[in-house]
């Protein structure tokens, strides 16, 4: 399954890039964020808790940054386990950014993932709807964080 989402933030590209490259700054914007463990510059684990349909799921997700193009792109891959025995595979998670001038930046997210186990068996429409909801909320959380930081 894959999904994409884009937002425009009222923040210059260098500030957006700084946030994207700092797991301690970006992880709290993830809906359901619980905990972060930074292993090194390119590897981190994040714990996320979400309600998906009738289930409450807690994922321990390990992500690895595999490509960085300064001020343009971050590509990562990852895999995680869910406490109920499910498995989340993320073969590709890409964040691209582009400066729009006038202190505005466009961010685009494209994430490909597979959810296995009881959560994966719930069906494509339910999981896709939840993924889209999470992407939109993540984008709004980033926008709020960047625009707050810029006004202080």
Looking at per-residue confidence, does 80 or 115 come out higher?
80
Average pLDDT, the chain: 88
pTM: 0.85
Q: What's the rounded Cα separation, in Å, for the pair 120 and 53?
A: 11
The 10s digit of each residue's pLDDT in 107-133 is 998 989 888 877 777 666 777 788 888
50 DSSP β-pair partners: 57
| Contact (CB, 8 A) for 26 and 19 | yes
Burial of 145 from C-beta contacts in 10 A (0-12 / 13-18 / 19+):
middle
Query: What span, in angstroms and rounded, lies between the C-alpha atoms of 116 and 86?
Result: 5
Domain 2-151: CATH architecture, name and number where available? 2-Layer Sandwich (3.30)
Q: Would you say residue 152 has pLDDT above 60?
A: no
């Amino acid at each position: 399954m894959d999904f994409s989402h884009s937002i425009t933030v009222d923040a210059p590209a260098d500030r957006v890039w700084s946030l994207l490259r700092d797991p301690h700054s970006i992880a709290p914007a993830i809906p359901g964020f619980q905990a972060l463990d930074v292993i090194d510059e390119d590897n981190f684990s994040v714990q996320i808790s979400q309600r998906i349909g009738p289930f409450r799921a807690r994922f321990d997700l390990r992500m690895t940054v595999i490509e960085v193009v300064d001020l343009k792109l971050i590509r990562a891959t990852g895999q995680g386990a869910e406490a109920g025995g499910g498995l989340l595979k993320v073969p590709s998670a890409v964040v691209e950014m582009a400066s729009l001038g006038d202190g505005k930046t466009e961010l685009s997210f494209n994430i490909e993932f597979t959810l296995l186990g009881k959560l994966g068996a719930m069906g494509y429409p339910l999981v896709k709807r939840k993924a889209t909801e999470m992407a939109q909320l993540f984008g709004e959380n980033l926008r709020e964080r960047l625009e707050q930081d810029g006004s202080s």
